[in-house]
Amino acid sequence: MATTSSPRRRQRSIRVTVAVLLLTLATAVVLVALSVRTVPLLCSACVLALVSGWAAARIVYSELRQTWHAHARDRARQAQAFRGLFVERATQHAAFASAMSDRLGDTEREVRELEATLRLSERRATDAEGRVRREARRGDEARQRVAELEVALEIRTAEEADELASWESARREQLDVDTVVDLLAWEERGSAGGATERRKRA
């Protein structure tokens, strides 16, 4: 870019220098003709000044036209580069938007999965809490039943102890009665045996 612009600048500076030299030459010729004040010289100076002016104007116009064309080419190259950059940025933006959309979709899917997991966990926690309450209620009922059974067992034990005590007292009385009966029977047998022996002796 710099190698192509430096010869153009040299060429432009040469053309502008040539135009300035033509105008300077025409001015000098007119000044000389005015100082000499001869008609043929004034006419020649006027013609030379007119030709030099048009030549300088033509050189400057061609220089301006080339500058405009160069600027137009530069703008076209810049526009093309900008278009390429815009296409590249648009492609990058589309890829970024697609990646962000995919990531957003993945994030939304993960959020939905986490919400479903959370709802399932809440449902399980609610079920577990219900089971714990039922088990606690059953435990309370079991403890109450155990307490009732302990009370019934104590009553039964007391009743059995009373029955055992009454049975033992009845047994003792029966044993006493049996002992007395046995003693009486023994005495009767003894008295009967004694009478028999006395009869034998007699």
3-class SS shares of the chain: helix, strand, coil, % to 5:
100, 0, 0
More confident: 26 or 164: 26
> In this predicted model, what pLDDT tens digit does every residue of 84-107 receive, in sequence order?
888 898 899 999 889 989 998 999
Residue 119 token pair? 């709802």
Long-range contact pairs involving 77-84 (C-beta distance under 8 Å, separation at least 24) = none
Non-local (6+) Cβ contacts of 25 within 8 A are 48, 52
CA distances (Å), origin 137, targets 124, 146, 196: 19, 14, 84
Cα Rg of the chain (Å, integer): 71
More confident: 170 or 89: 89
Q: Which amino acid is at 181?
A: V
- Rounded to the nearest 10°, the torsion over CA 28, 31, 37, 38 is 20
Closest C-alpha to 43, from 52, 30, 28: 30
Least confident of 29-33, 109-113, 116-120, 179-183: 179-183
Mean per-residue pLDDT over the chain, rounded:
81
Asked if residue 44 lies in contact with residue 33, where contact means CB atoms within 8 angstroms, the answer is: yes
pLDDT at residue 117 in the model? 92
Alpha-helix runs per DSSP H in the chain: 2-36, 39-201
Question: What angle (nearest 5°) sits at the alpha carbon of residue 194, between those of residues 193 and 197?
Answer: 90
